[in-house]
Structures are given as C-alpha cells and as structure tokens.
C-alpha cells in the first residue's frame, strides 16, 4: 500500500497516476470510435442519395449559338417521370452543338433544345419595341402575357389615327436601351401581328394580362 506523506500532492501517489495512465487508452479508443461512427454515417447517407446527375444551363445561350463547356453545368435532382432531363454522362457530346432555341440559365437541358435552329416556332415572330417610361407596368417580367397597343401620333388625345393592337408574350426586357426613360422589350407574337406592330408609327403601350 502506498502511503502519501502529509501535505504531499495527490498526483504523486501511485494509484492516481496509474488511473490516469489507464484512462488515456480509453480516451483514444473513444475518439477513434467517434470518428469511425461519423465516417460510417457519411457513407450510409451517400448511399441513400438516389439523386440523378443531369445537365443544367449555366449561362444564357441565344438560339443559333454554338454551345460551349462553360454554358453547361451538372445538377443533381430526384428522378421524376414528369421532368424531362439529359443525363450528365452525355455532357461531352453536347459541347459544340447548336442551340435550337434560347437557353435560359438555371434551367435543365431538355432533348430537342440542341440541333437545327427552330426558334421562334413556326407561325411566330420576335420583334423589339421601344417602350417609354410609364407605358408598361412595373411588374412586367419575362414570360408576361401582354396586349401591345401602338398609339399613332396624336392618338393619346383621340384626334388622329386608330391604335394598332395585338396579343404577345414578353421574351426579354432591356432597361438599358441607350435612351433615357426608354426600355426595349422583345415580344413574341404571330407573324401577321408582328408585321402590323412593326409597321405602325407611334408609341407602344403594354397592358399586362392575367395568365392561367
């Protein structure tokens, strides 16, 4: 039996020192088990990940332009039979092909979007109209359904000419049109309406319609 001298510190006693030495391997073993458990859980979670790697559009690509590697990205999604996708394994085969229609950043690539240019759709046309400040709703965005009305000179007072109107969809809005207070709005509409709107002199007014 070890007898501790009066006033001697506890760390000098034999049993206390031995206990500390015995606890060190247990601490190391616990740390190893903790790390191993964490790694095991990570492996299990990775095996549970049943998402599919698909091709996404990384940046806008206009119709007719050759697709570059930087235009595409890999996204991981849960498979859904209602969502059309292109497997990421086909990425290398997509670079160098032509965008058949405008590709929007942040969307998933779909078969048919690459190939011979087929945009705008048959029977449709795309035109750009200058729109002055106050002649379009502030909530106007890409995809908005609008009625475009061209007011002829003096048409705002009802004294000259007849307004020309047509239904259209907003495809793009360029607020920096180079003219203070004027935006260039790209519209997609029927061939016949596009010709009428483009030929009509006067100021364009866009009326946003409800969708659905």
Structural domains in the chain?
Answer: 50-119 (3.90.1210.10), 124-209 (2.40.30)
Query: What is the pLDDT at residue 114?
Result: 93
∠ CA 153-158-159, rounded to 5°: 70
3-state secondary structure of 201: coil
Residue 172 parent element (H or E): strand 164-174
Residues whose CB is less than 8 angstroms from the CB of residue 148 and which lie 6 or more positions away in sequence, other chains included: 129, 165, 166, 167, 168, 187, 189, 197, 204, 205, 206, 207
Question: What's the predicted TM-score (pTM) here?
Answer: 0.57
∠ CA 122-126-132, rounded to 5°: 160
Query: What is the pLDDT at residue 142?
Result: 86
Residue 188 parent element (H or E): strand 182-190
- pLDDT tens track, the chain, 212 positions: 455 555 555 545 555 545 555 565 666 666 656 656 666 665 555 556 689 999 999 999 998 999 999 999 999 999 888 889 999 999 999 999 999 999 999 999 999 999 988 888 889 999 999 998 889 998 999 889 999 999 886 645 445 678 999 999 998 888 765 566 788 999 999 999 999 999 998 899 999 987 66
């Amino acid at each position: 039996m070890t007898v501790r001298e009066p006033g001697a510190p506890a760390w000098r006693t034999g049993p206390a020192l031995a206990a500390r030495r015995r606890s060190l391997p247990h601490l190391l073993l616990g740390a190893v088990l903790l790390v191993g458990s964490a790694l095991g859980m990570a492996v299990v979670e990775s095996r549970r990940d049943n998402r599919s790697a698909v091709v996404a559009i990384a940046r806008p690509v206009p119709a007719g332009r050759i697709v570059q590697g930087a235009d595409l990205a890999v996204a991981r999604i849960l498979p859904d039979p209602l969502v059309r996708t292109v497997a990421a394994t086909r990425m290398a085969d997509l670079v160098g092909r032509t965008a058949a229609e405008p590709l929007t950043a942040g969307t998933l690539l779909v078969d048919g979007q690459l190939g011979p240019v087929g945009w705008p759709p048959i029977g449709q046309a795309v035109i750009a109209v200058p729109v002055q400040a106050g002649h379009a709703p502030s909530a106007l965005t890409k995809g908005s359904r609008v009625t475009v009305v061209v007011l002829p000179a003096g048409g705002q007072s009802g004294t000259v000419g007849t307004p020309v109107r047509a239904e259209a969809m907003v495809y793009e809005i360029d607020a920096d049109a180079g003219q203070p207070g004027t935006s260039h709005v790209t519209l997609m509409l029927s061939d016949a309406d596009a010709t009428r709107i483009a030929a009509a002199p006067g100021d364009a007014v866009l009326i946003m319609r409800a969708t659905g």
